[in-house]
Amino acid sequence: MRFKKWNIGSPAEQDVALLRTAGYPYLLSTVLAARGITTPEAAAEFLERERKLTISPMLMRDMDKAVERITNAIQNSEKIAVYGDYDVDGITSTALLYKFLLSLGADVEYYIPDRKGEGYGINIMAVNKLFKQGIKLMITVDCGITAIGEVEF
C-alpha cells in the first residue's frame, strides 16, 4: 500500500471547550486542539495571515504574455475554458479562476475530466471537444506541466 494509515490525535475535551468559549466552531476547535493549539491566543495567532502577496506572480516567466492573452480574450468575447483536475487543489483552482473570470465578464466555462473515463490531466479528446464547442483559449490549472503533446495539439 502506498499510503500509511493516518494517526490523528484526540484532543482533550477541555482544550476544545476553551476554544469553543472563545467563539470558534466545534470542528475548528477540535482540529486546532488536535494540533496542539489549545488557547484562544494561540488559535488567533495561528489563523491570522497577512493578506498581501509576498512575491509578485508577475515574476513568473511569460506571465505578462499570459495576462495579455487572457485580457484580449475577454475584450474580444472569446470563449475561454478553465481546465483542471478532479483532485482537491484542481477543483479549487478551477473554481477560483472560473469565478474570477466570470467577475471580469468573460465568456468562460470549466472542464474537469472524468476520473474513470478520462483519467488524470489533460487529454486530447477533451481538448478536441472544447475546440469543437468554440473554445478559443484554454487555461489549465493544476495540470498540464508535462502534457507537452496535448498542449501542442
Q: Which DSSP string do the residues of 20-88 spell out, in sequence order?
A: HHTT--HHHHHHHHHTT--SHHHHHHHH----S-SS-GGGSTTHHHHHHHHHHHHHTT-EEEEE--SSH
pTM for the complete prediction? Answer: 0.67
2 confidence band (pLDDT: 50, 70, 90): low
pLDDT one-digit tens code per residue, 7-41: 767 899 999 999 999 999 999 999 999 999 999 99
Mean pLDDT of the chain: 89
pLDDT one-digit tens code per residue, 116-135: 777 777 888 989 999 999 99
pLDDT one-digit tens code per residue, 59-102: 989 999 999 999 999 999 999 999 998 888 889 999 999 999 99
Identify the residue whose cell numbers are 478551477: 94
